Amino acid sequence: MRGTLVFDLDGTLAETAPDIMGTLNVLLEREGLAALPLEKARELVGAGARALIERGFKASGRPLSVEKLDELFAAFLPHYLSRIAEASFLFPGVEAALDRLAARGYTLAICTNKPEPHSLALVEALGVKNRFRAIVGRETFPFFKPDPRVLLETVRASGGEPTRAIMIGDSKTDLDTAKAARIPAIGVSFGYTDVPMAELGPDRLIHHFDALDEAVESLLAA
């Protein structure tokens, strides 16, 4: 085993904003508000469904009570699951990179704050579920990112060792989780973050999955 590569899901492996924003817009329109453009996803998506709803309604000029937020969150999850991959897709180069790295002996895993049923349904629909030794969602363990324990447990569930692991993600949350776990991190520049990944200071930065192999090798060599 050469090492364990742990990927975030939304904004890292897959462009999921169209289906996530589509579900948010269903809720907004039910409440008499206008749909938000897909371009808003970069500043709204990335912190989980509850935060997405709160941010979406705030952007529409309507604050939410805790009770209303709970109601909308309960409606969001089943609707999103029903359309989990209508318009979502893997980023360019993902499948080829996963195949190359697996062929070279790396173990692959996913650690996401997306609910576990939605995570499993998404990777199944995208045709890559069987490539990952472990798929960890928000409620898989009694803690989630940025708690470093979820990353460490993901590595262990994959049969790996934290000293030979790398986190690949698109957000500050991913980097904070990796740093707290003392695991190096590769940031992707095309994900969901309101602060550019280059400014967040990952150990390596890639702009396409074609560059992942070199970034992984250089980190493990170091």
Catalytic residues: 8
* Beta pairing class for 89-90 and 14-15: antiparallel
Using CA atoms, how far residue 43 sits from 23, 97, 153, in Å, is: 16, 28, 29
Enumerate residues 6+ apart whose C-beta is below 8 A from 18.
38, 86, 87, 88
CA distance between the termini of the chain: 17
> CA gyration radius for the chain?
17
Contact 79, 23 (CB under 8 A): yes
- CA 12 from chain centre, in angstroms, equals 6
Q: What is the DSSP letter of 214?
A: H
SS3 breakdown of the chain: % helix, strand, coil, rounded to 5? 50, 15, 35
Of 202, 187, 190, whose CA–CA distance to 42 is shortest? 190
